[in-house]
Amino acid sequence: MLRIRYGGPAVGVCPAGGDEAESGHDRRLHTAREVADDLATDAVDREQAGKVPLDEVSRLREAGLLTLLTPAEHGGGGADWRTAYAVVRTVAAADGAIGRLLGCHYFLSFGARFFAAPALAARVERESAAGQWCWGGGYAADEPPLRLTPTGDGYLLDGRQDYACGVAVADRLAVRAARSDTGEPLAVLVDPARPGVTCVSDGDVFGQRLAAGGSVEFDSVPVPAGDVFGSLSSDEGVLSPFAGLAVPTARLVSAQFCLGIADGLLCEAREYSRATHGSRQLPGQGPWPGGPPQDPYTLTAFGELAVAAHAASALADQAVEFLVSGLARGEDVGDDECAEITVLAGAAEAAAARAAQEITTHALDVIGAGAASARHGFDRFWRNARTHTLREPVAPRLREVGDYWLGGAHPPFVLPA
């Protein structure tokens, strides 16, 4: 297998705050590249084996990547979302499923800040950092609702969630459940080690085999009152605009995952083409920088794919800047600003998903018949991207963007799977 250094174009720009902030961003991204290089050495074998990624999560934990977004005063890395998105993209380029797992962890572990009172969020983040928790689950509204029944000192959780990311490796699950008495949807934190929790890995999925996804069943699982964050209601006026920023935050996790997949395959296709097709000589041409010239079809095809990747990346960069600015405003962010950020993030997700689908399909054409060899594992990029876009289709994002630009309609509060 070719030895490739991972870490595509940087996402956004380094955090504001001078040399110290820039140094912190660069240092963490360097760590992510080292982890990505490590994952890449046996990515094909691990993906084909499809084992539960316990060792991979341990690598993330040892590198300090699981606590990256947790504030330093709570025991974490104190990074912002610019850095987190860059890390997700870098890891996804080497191992798409692990990048997806890490991105979901970042979003879910950040959820307490969106949906819980500040004191509760601080307590949860301290416990998460101390225990080096890996978070899994999901808040998707299209899942059959779990039922949360009030008791004297807390709640009982019942029901089944058909798909949740990271359930096979999670130390904590963050899920959506409806109160049995009022029907209000709430964000709930659950320890999967509690009696009554049954996690089942999704063993027959054709992509994202190492994302530890699957179903989870809850049978009268006790939930302390302090593990219920707050409302996930989409009714007007229930959530603050700051809580509404959870939607674009999650959309940009999806976008960075897709861009990482595109980066990874473009990188491997380039190295493979240089090694196998670079010896083709074209009459009347001089030396090609870095090696012999390649045929015009290959050059044009790579050019088209690179343009698709750069265009989607530029849109994602812009969306990240708007989001980080909105998050920094906290509760001062307004409804109109939240809507604008959400629309831009949705557009970035749609562009990244389309780029990933185009690149993971047509890069195989450039590689040629060698792409069919299982030992190279080029197909894993397409399978990981396609599995993701089936769960997060582009069409709803395009409708939201169109509705906003034509009529000014604010996007609905819909969290991704």
Q: What is the tens place of the pLDDT at every residue in 395-406?
A: 999 999 999 999
Of 380, 393, 387, 417, the closest CA to residue 39 belongs to 380
> Contact, 211 vs 166, CB < 8 A?
yes
Tokens matching residue 243: 């809580």
Q: Does residue 65 belong to any structural domain of this protein?
A: yes
Q: Which residue has the higher pLDDT, 159 or 298?
A: 159
**With contact defined as beta carbons under 8 Å apart, do 169 and 134 qualify?**
yes
Residue 377 confidence (pLDDT) above 90: no
User: Does position 288 have pLDDT exceeding 90, yes or no?
Assistant: no
Who's near 30: CB < 8 A, 6+ residues apart?
A: none
CA distance 417 to 398: 17
* Pairwise CA distance, residues 206 & 208, whole Å: 7
Average pLDDT score over residue span 380-386: 94
The string of pLDDT tens digits covering residues 304-357 is: 999 999 999 999 999 999 999 999 999 999 999 999 999 999 999 999 999 999
Q: Are 81 and 324 spatial neighbours (Cβ–Cβ below 8 Å)?
A: yes
Phi and psi, residue 369, nearest 5°: -60, -25
- Assess if residue 319 is contained within a domain: no
Q: Is residue 129 part of a domain?
A: yes
pLDDT, mean of residues 41-51: 91
Residue 274 falls inside a structural domain: no
Average pLDDT over residues 77-100: 97
The pLDDT value given to residue 21: 52
pLDDT for 145 equals 82
Given this model, what pLDDT does residue 208 score? 82
More confident residue, 226 or 368: 226
Domain boundaries, position 28: 19-135
Q: How many domains, in total, are found in the chain?
A: 1
Instruction: Say if residue 417's pLDDT is above 80.
Output: no
- The overall average pLDDT reported for the chain is 89
Q: pLDDT-based confidence at 274, cuts 50/70/90?
A: confident
Indicate whether 77 belongs to any domain: yes
More confident residue, 1 or 300: 300
Instruction: Find the CATH number of the domain harbouring 94.
Output: 1.10.540.10
Residue 301 has pLDDT above 50, yes or no: yes
Residue 283 lies in a domain: no
- H, E, C per residue of the chain: CCCCCCCCCCCCCCCCCCHHHHHHHHHHHHHHHHHHHHHHCCHHHHHHHCCCCHHHHHHHHHCCCCCCCCCHHHCCCCCCHHHHHHHHHHHHHHCHHHHHHHHHHHHHHHHHHHHCCHHHHHHHHHHHHHHCCCEEEECCCCCCCEEEEECCCEEEEEEEEEEEECCCCCCEEEEEEEECCCCCEEEEEECCCCCCEEEEECCCCCCCCCCCCEEEEEEEEEEEHHHEEEECCCCCCCCCHHHHCHHHHHHHHHHHHHHHHHHHHHHHHHHHHHHHCCCCCCCCCCCECCECCCCHHHHHHHHHHHHHHHHHHHHHHHHHHHHHHHHHHHHHCCHHHHHHHHHHHHHHHHHHHHHHHHHHHHHHHHHCHHHHCCCCCCHHHHHHHHHHHHHCCCHHHHHHHHHHHHHCCCCCCCCCC
Tell me whether residue 73 is in a domain: yes
**pLDDT band at residue 373, thresholds of 50, 70 and 90?**
confident
